[in-house]
Structure 1
C-alpha cells in the first residue's frame, strides 16, 4: 500500500549546496566534504533533478547559486545546523549535556581553561567543546551554543552576559624610545603603530580618549591576534595597544616599556553571547550561571 509521506532530498546533496553558497567555489566544497569536484557536481545535479529546479548556474566550470538556489539555502541552513548539532551531541556525549562554545584564543588559554576544572567538578555530566573564532558569526550557520565576544553588545538575535571591561596600554620595545617616554600622546603618531584585525579602530579610540584628534586612517601593520602583535612589539616593529593584563610580565622584565604611562578603559567589553532561542537550554544555563560567578568586572580579561 502506498503511503503519502514527504520524500526528502539527500542530506549530502543539501550539504554540498549549502557549502557552495558559504565557500563560493566547487573546489572549496570538495575540500570540506572530502570529495572530488566531479562528485560535488554530481551531488548538485542530483539535488536539482530531485527538486525539479535549477539551483546552480554553471559558467565555464564556475559554479554559483541561482536566485532559486540562494532562496532555498536560506530556508534549509537552519535545519542543517540543527541536525549537525543534534548529531554532535549524541556522538560526543550520549549521556548528559553538551555545550559547543566559540572562544577567543587568549581568553581561552589565559582565563577560561584554568577555571574549567571547577565547572567540571560542579557539573561532571556536561561536556564543553571549544573552537576558536575571532569574529562574530551566524549562530544559524555555525554549530555553537554560545560564544565569547569582545565588542559592542549588538550581536543580532542574542542575549548576553557582561564579563569584563578592559584597560589598554601602548607598549613597545625599549629601543624604539631612545629618548624615553614621549611628553605627549600625539608624539606616538611619529612611531610605527601595530594594529589588530578585530579592533582596527582601537588606536583612533585611544587617541580620542587622550584628547588627540586624528580624522584620517592611521598607518601601520595589521596582526591577527594578540599573540602575534605582542611578538611584533617585542621585536621592535612598532607600538602595540594591548590589555595591561597581557603585558605585565614583559613590562616587569623590561622587554617592553610603556610608550605612554596611563592605561585607559577600552570602548568595548567582553561578553558571553548566545542565541535567544537557546536561553532555556539546561547545559547553557548552568554554564552561564557558573560563568557569572567567575566574572570579575574590575579585572581586564585577555582576548
Structure 2
C-alpha cells in the first residue's frame, strides 16, 4: 500500500470517528492521546484476526503468547514446570518477558501478566495464583552452624531483608512473636527474591519468603523451615489480564493450566 493510500485510510478513520489520530509535525507524524488510546485498543483485536487467519490457512502453525512475569515467579515456579504445558500443547509458543514495576516500557503489549501485588490494578482482572503463605526458610548449612528452634534464636543469625514491600519481618513477627524486634537498619537487604533466595540457599542468612517459590527446594532438602510456621500475608502472585479480555482459546488453555499449577504450590497452614 502506497503512502498516499495509507494517508487516505487514516483520514477516513478520523472523519468517521470525528477525532484526530495523528498530529502533523515538521519531523513527521505523532499520535495524539486519542490516537494512542485507539491504537492500544485495536492492537489486540488485530492480533486475534491475524491468529485466526493463520489457524485457518495453516492449521499446524504455532500461536505466540506473550506473557509478562515477575522474575522470581518465572525462575522458581513457571519455568521449571513449563515443559509440562509445552509438551501438551506443541502448537503454542510462550514468550516470557520480565514484569518489573519500575522501568517498564508501557508500549509493550502482553496477553497476560503474572504480578506480585495485592490483586488490584486499574483496567485489569486479577486471578489469585499463590504466594499468600509466607514463612521462615534457611539452608541446612546455616542450621548446622546455628540452632534455630525458636524466634529468640534468630538474634544469632543474619536476618536478610527484601527491599520491596511485602513479606517483611515486621509483618511476620507480628503474627509469630508480637513484640520481638525486627532486624535493624544494618541487616543485609536484597532487591527482589531473585537475589534474596540464592543468598539464603548459600547459607548467608535466613529470610521470610513466599513458600510457593521454594516448594521444590523444600522437597529436595535444599531449604528447610526451622520453625514450621505459616503466616498469611497481604501480597501474592496474581494472573492479570486486560479488561475486557481479548483472550483466544490458546491463551485460555495456558491460563487454566497456570491456575491449576499454582494451586498445587500452595502450602496450607497445618503443614
Q: Which is bigger in relative contact order (C-alpha 8 A, separation at least 6)?
A: 2
SS of the equivalent of 2:189 reads strand
Aligned to 2:218: 248
How do 1:1-303 residues align onto structure 2 when only pairs under 5 Å count?
5=11, 9=22, 46=27, 74-81=33-40, 95-96=54-55, 97-120=63-86, 123-135=89-101, 141-172=107-138, 174=141, 178=145, 180-181=147-148, 183=150, 185=151, 188=154, 191-213=157-179, 218-219=184-185, 220-242=187-209, 243=211, 244-245=214-215, 247-248=217-218, 252=221, 258=225, 260-297=227-264, 299-300=266-267
SS of the equivalent of 1:212 reads coil
- TM-score normalised according to structure 1 size: 0.59
1: distance between equivalents of 2:34 and 2:163?
Answer: 32
Question: Which deviates more from structure 2 when the two are superposed, residues 273-282 or residues 212-221?
Answer: 212-221
> 1:222/1:258 Cα in 2 relative to 1: closer, same or farther (>3 Å)?
same
Query: How far off its partner does 1:248 sit?
Result: 1.8
> 1:115/1:156 Cα in 2 relative to 1: closer, same or farther (>3 Å)?
same
Q: Please report the RMSD computed on the Cα atoms of aligned residues, expressed in angstroms.
A: 4.3
Counterpart contact for 1:186–1:212, Cα < 8 Å: no
Structure 2 alignment gaps of length 5 or more: 1-7, 15-19, 56-62
Structure 1 alignment gaps of length 5 or more: 14-43, 52-71
Aligned residue pairs total 240
2: distance between equivalents of 1:109 and 1:9?
Answer: 41
Query: After superposition, what is the alpha-carbon deviation per residue over 1:218-261, rounded to whole angstroms, capped at 9, x for unaligned?
Result: 532332333421232345543222335254267x36xx665544
> 1:221/1:86 Cα in 2 relative to 1: closer, same or farther (>3 Å)?
farther
